[in-house]
């Protein structure tokens, strides 16, 4: 018994020592003071002209999603009051759809859409849902719900939607982001936002209603790259910019699938949709 206790104590002592060595690394933390370099820096500044392995090169079409207009600061409010007139947006602010490129930087093949689908299901569907309705498993468990990619077909389209004369009108299904307790019933109810389903929350914050199926594709790429609201940047999950464009292309395919007009579909698909489901005969009763 005595030998066993001594063995356990020795093992505990060695484990503690090992843990301490592992926890106390000689490497400096970011911005930690050091006597190694001048000015007590723990790291030297990067030499001018250095490009690290994942740094985008300026002008590269794969990482250029803003137009010249989008790179230019603009008034932050559509109808600024005197105290707001000097407030300007940063480059990339969704004040206008023309801020973002409307074309993909490379020709898309069937393989690109397939890869975009695979990546979307792997890193996006957890929140956005497999079809992009914002009903993934993460918001299903009470976390912030992303907007649906799909506008309610009953809602007016472009010109009617962005009419500033009626900025608060909502037609059809409404966008909602979370649940809140209802004061009257005490039950959890949807906490609706101030714009319709399938509309951009980024554009809405700056006073403009913009359907997500109408935003230029550069805006979708920007949100994947920078993140927005409760969504973090996905440059770690999708480090290759070309893959981010492929995911954006697949999102476009999802939107087309939900808003496509039956009359424009190929004949066989239209017939399959219009054909009523075949009723199966009831299973005969089995007597024992």
CB 119 within 8 A of CB 238: yes
The ranges assigned to domains in the chain are: 61-82+99-260
pLDDT number for residue 217: 98
- Whole-angstrom distance, CA of residue 218 vs CA of residue 200: 13
Q: What is the pTM of this model?
A: 0.72
pLDDT number for residue 42: 83
pLDDT number for residue 192: 87
pLDDT number for residue 165: 41
pLDDT tens per residue, the chain (288 residues)?
Answer: 666 656 656 666 555 555 566 667 677 777 788 888 888 888 877 888 887 776 777 889 999 999 999 998 877 766 666 665 566 778 899 989 999 999 999 999 999 999 999 999 999 999 999 999 999 999 998 899 999 999 988 776 654 444 444 445 677 888 989 888 888 888 888 888 888 899 999 998 888 889 999 999 999 999 999 999 899 999 999 999 999 999 999 999 999 988 777 777 777 877 777 776 666 555 555 555
Exposure string over 125-158, b if 16+ CB within 10 A, otherwise e:
bebbbeebbbbbebbeeeeebbbbbbbbeebbee
């Amino acid at each position: 018994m005595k030998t066993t206790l001594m063995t356990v104590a020795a093992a505990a002592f060695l484990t503690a020592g090992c843990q301490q060595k592992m926890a106390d690394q000689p490497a400096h933390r970011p911005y930690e003071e050091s006597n190694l370099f001048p000015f007590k820096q723990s790291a030297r500044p990067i030499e001018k002209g250095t490009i690290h392995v994942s740094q985008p090169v300026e002008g590269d079409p794969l990482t250029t999603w803003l137009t010249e207009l989008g790179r230019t600061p603009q008034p932050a409010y559509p109808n600024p009051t005197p105290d707001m007139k000097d407030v300007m947006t940063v480059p990339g602010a969704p004040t206008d759809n023309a801020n973002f490129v409307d074309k993909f930087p490379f020709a898309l093949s069937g393989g690109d859409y397939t890869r975009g689908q695979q990546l979307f299901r792997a890193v996006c569907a957890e929140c956005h849902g497999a079809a992009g309705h914002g009903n993934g498993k993460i918001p299903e468990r009470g976390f912030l719900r992303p907007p649906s990619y799909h506008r309610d077909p009953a809602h007016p389209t472009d010109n009617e939607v962005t009419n500033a004369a009626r900025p608060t009108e909502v037609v059809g299904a409404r966008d909602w982001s979370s649940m809140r307790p209802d004061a009257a019933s005490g039950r959890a109810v949807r906490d609706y936002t101030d714009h319709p389903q399938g509309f951009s929350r980024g554009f809405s914050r700056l006073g403009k209603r913009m359907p997500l199926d109408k935003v230029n594709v550069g805006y979708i790429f920007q949100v994947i790259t920078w993140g927005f609201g409760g969504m973090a940047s996905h440059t770690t999950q999708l480090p290759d910019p070309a893959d981010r464009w492929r995911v954006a292309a697949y999102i476009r395919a999802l939107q087309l699938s939900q808003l496509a007009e039956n009359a424009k579909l190929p004949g066989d698909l239209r017939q399959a949709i219009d054909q009523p489901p075949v009723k199966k005969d009831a299973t005969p009763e089995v007597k024992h």
